[in-house]
Each structure stands twice: as C-alpha cells, then as structure tokens.
Amino acid sequence: MTQYSSSSPRSRKGKYNKNNNTKYTVILVIIAVALLVGIGLLVFFLAKPSGKRPDDETFPSVKKTEQGETEEPDSTEASAYDTLLQKAGVTAAMYDYDGAIEAVVNAVPNYESVPELSAFVRECTAKKSKLVKWADNTQITHVFFHTLVADSEKAFSSFKKNDYNQVMTTIDEFNKIMDSMYAKGYVLVHLEDIAKIETAADGTQQMTYQPIMLPPGKTPFVMSVDDVSYYEYMNNTGFASRLVIDENGKVVNEMDIYEEVVPKQTDGRTGGPLLKTDEYGRPVVESTVRGNFDVVPLLDAFVEAHPDFSYHGAKGTIALTGYNGILGYRTSYFTYGKKDEAWMSKYSKWEKDWQYYNPDIEADRAKAKAVADAMKAEGWKFASHTWGHMTMSRDDGTGVVDKATGTIINERFQRDTGWWETEVRPRIGNTDILIFPQGADIGSWRGYTDTNEAYLYLKSVGFNYFCNVDSAICWVQLSKTVGGTGYLRMGRRNLDGTMMFKQLVNPDKNIVNDLFDVKQVFDRARPIPVIGVNVEGKDLTKLFD
C-alpha cells in the first residue's frame, strides 16, 4: 500500500528527462501560486476587522473613488499604487504594520492625498492597535524536521529505510502538518523574536525577551530543519540532491538520479547502492529533475500563499554540518579538496574512505553562498550543527564535553568548531545559533554556568542561541548575563516517524496531538511498526480506525 503526494517526484516517474512535462507542471504551479497570492491579497484587503469602530474601514478597491471625488488617478499612477499596495499588503499580512506603513510613506511622501494609500495606512494603524503581546515567551513550541522524503517508495525500501522511517518526514506529511498548524492559528517566528541581546538600563548587554505582537488567537512557533546537506549516503534513496536558484530567482530543489553499478553490492560491501563514479571518484549523474522536494521551497510557497503564517517574514532555521558540504554542494576542502602535499600534511591523519576530489569545488562554494544569500533574503536563518555532526555529550561519558560540568574532555571539540568556522560560516554569513546534533547538550537542564568551559568557548566564537531536543511541548531557558551577555536555550520537538508513530499507538497522550491529527498525516507508505517505538499490547491493525 503506497501513496504519493502530488508534489512527489515519483508521481512524475518516467518523465525525468522530459522537459516539456516539467515545464507544463512549472507553468501550472506558477499559475496556481499567482491565483493563491491574488486570492490571499483580496482576502486581506476585504477582511473586516472584528469589532468595527468608526475609524475602521475596509480597503476601497484601487479604482473606486472616495465620496465627493470624481477624479480618477491616471492609469500609470494607479498601477504604480497597485504594486506598492500589493507589496505593503504582504508586509501587513505578516503583522508588520509599521513596516507596511513605512513602505508607503517612503514611496509616496504625500500619500495622504492619495485615497487608497491613506485608507491602507489607516487600516494598518487600526489592525496594529488590535495586536496583543504573546503572554509568555517560555511558552513557545519549537518543531524540527530533517530533509524530507520526496520518494517514499525509494526511501522506505533503501538500505537506510529504518533510519529514514524513524527520523524523517515525507513531503506529504510535511504539507499536511503545515495545513493543520496554519488552520490552528500557528505563526512562524524566529529565535530572535523570542529574545535577543540588547542594552539594559545599566548599560550592559543582556539577552532579553522581546514582545511578540500578534492578533488574539494566533500562536507563535519556531521551526528548524537539520542536516540540509543532502549527504552522500542519501544519493538515489528518494531525497533531493541540492538547493538551486531557478530562472525566476526562486530557491528550488534538484534531484539527481545516479547511475548504479549492476549487479549491486556483489563486492561484499554493505551500505547504499554502489554508484558509477567518474575519474575523480564522483558519482555519475544520469538525469536531474527540478521541483519543490524539500522544506525550503515548500515552505516558501506556503508562506507566499499564506503570508499570515509568518511573523515579519520569518521562515525556518537551517542547521548545517560541514563534512559533506552544505545545501547539496560538496564545498568542504577537508573532504573534497585536492589531496596535494599541503592537504596531506594538514588533514591526512583523519582521512576517510568517502572522500573524493571535487574539481568544481570553488564554483560550488560560490553557488552554495548564492543559494544561502537568496534564502536569507526570503527570511531563512542558518545555524551551526557542528562540522562533523559531533555528539557533544553522551550518557556514558564518551562525548567531547562532560555534560555535568561543561568541561571539554576531547580536543575534537575545538578542532570541529574551528573547521565549522572556516568551512561553513563564510558561505552562510554570520550566525549565533547552535543546534546540537542528536540533541546532545553541553550542560544539564539546570542551565549553563560561568564555569561551563564548553559554553564559554562557544560564546567566544559567537553563539548565543542553543537548541537541544526535548519532548516537552515548550522548553525555553534564558540567562541575561551568564558568560557575559547570556543565552537563550530552547528544546525542540522532532515531527518525524518516531514521534508520529508514538502518537498513533498512544492516542491518549499528547505527543503531536496539539499540532495535527496524526491519523490524517501519517504516511501510509511507511513500514510499521516504526522500530524503537514500544508497541507491546497494541493492536497495530486498528491504528487508523
């Protein structure tokens, strides 16, 4: 029993090389998005604020004249205002009424003499007056995903099927989760909307909670996406291969299909499909298809259709490692650089068998940076996920940090941090967010202290926000001053196969119930049970009844 989302590349099976079909699909998608945006704007302009007051009024249509005025603006002017109002309308729909008003005032300083512009400004002012401050910034949920399964059949029959089933989410599931959260009134915010470092009354810099101003009934939440690297092991197992900028300047995915060596795995090796490689050892691409195969383009399209899902333009935070490069580009000198003498003297003691030489590494570094810049312009943020997906602490004490004291117990901690600083930070620009791999934190839940060596080190290289994994609905911790300027720490909830299956077999607990109905969302293409979830005494044939 398998089902595919309409956006899954699998549903275009056999058309990977047929550009025309892809073009028609793209055109249809563009028309659909344009229609949705149009409808969205129309709804925004026509929406009457509740509790109508005398100074409230709905937006007049741009062509309509105010009472007593008979003069129509000339058509060039009217269309200029249309564009301005459309753009400012999106800003206003994202609850940034000051930004929307500013856009109008900056573009048309004498806007008060233009009826539709002054009406727009009045409307923004009225809506702003109805915003309320989110009552408690420690009561904000933070959800995260990994790169999405684009082809369920491939992923759940691959050598990594159990891992994917546990920690990944499918496109179909992601779309349904977004629909549900939007319907429940959730609105995306960034970590810096919750708290940021600012100057206190005594002149010191302190991490400080920020007011989040939303209409009543709306609920802020944070989203992050881990490991958007399109790791080598994921090749040909049903995932996108990279993010690219398309001809319209939008960030979309490419999925490569690689040539597999047949017969597979006859050399006794375990692992993924054996791919044909070129003279440098790179896998040979058979064909490439473009589309919205992962969180970034899917969420961009969703917010374009529903700007009121985003607070001041916020999207998600992308957590990046460095060892396989970033965003699908093989950018790491350590892993893909030319293995000349300088490289050998510097790195060879850590060489692994998955390394090959990428002769396009400089061009790929530039492309990765361009994609990151385009994403930032669309409201995305980036975070460190450590260079080598390094587990900071383990319960058995074998991590690189002693969780109880924060003492650095393995030099790999500094080495890894250094590599992230040189290999990743220059591509994505500055960030002060660290998302711990495996959720493994550098301190206990009690909070970081002024003697936590790992925390002080991470502060010294610029990190102020620290995210672990926690099953609590909301877990937020703030210090104004520890380590100088304090920190914000947040637990995150994995919306993946494990958590959804846990919810399915424990319908009376709240695991993801507050966000969506798991029976509607859980992808039936998944093998069940999801390994690792206790199903003792559960009737697995009645999960969806």
Interacting residue ranges for Zn ion, rule: CB under 5 A = 226-227, 437
Given the complex with Zn ion, which of 220 and 437 has the nearer CB atom? 437
Minimum CB distance to Zn ion, residue 435 (Å): 8
* Contact indicator for 4, 11 with CB cutoff of 8 Å: yes
**Residue 206's beta-bridge partner residues?**
198
Given the complex with Zn ion, which of 376 and 389 has the nearer CB atom? 389
H/E element holding 346? helix 341-347
Place of tokens 């004291």: 405
Torsion angles phi and psi, residue 248, rounded to 5: -95, 5
Minimum CB distance to Zn ion, residue 401 (Å): 17
Given the complex with Zn ion, which of 227 and 432 has the nearer CB atom? 227
* Contact indicator for 535, 504 with CB cutoff of 8 Å: no
Minimum CB distance to Zn ion, residue 235 (Å): 18
Given the complex with Zn ion, which of 229 and 479 has the nearer CB atom? 229
Instruction: Using alpha carbons, select from 279, 124, 296, 345 the residue that is nearest to residue 213.
Output: 124
In 10 A of CB 287, how many CB atoms? 11
Torsion angles phi and psi, residue 467, rounded to 5: -120, 130
Minimum CB distance to Zn ion, residue 438 (Å): 7
Concatenating the DSSP letter of every residue in 27-42 gives HHHHHHHHHHHHHHHH
Minimum CB distance to Zn ion, residue 518 (Å): 23
Minimum CB distance to Zn ion, residue 439 (Å): 9
Given the complex with Zn ion, which of 40 and 437 has the nearer CB atom? 437
Given the complex with Zn ion, which of 144 and 475 has the nearer CB atom? 144
In 10 A of CB 481, how many CB atoms? 14
Given the complex with Zn ion, which of 316 and 437 has the nearer CB atom? 437
In 10 A of CB 38, how many CB atoms? 11
3-state helix, strand, coil in the chain (%, to 5): 35, 15, 45
Cα angle at 187 between 229 and 50, to 5 degrees? 160
For CA atoms 377, 307, 89, 209, give the dihedral sign: negative
Structure tokens, 353? 């068998």
Given the complex with Zn ion, which of 168 and 500 has the nearer CB atom? 168
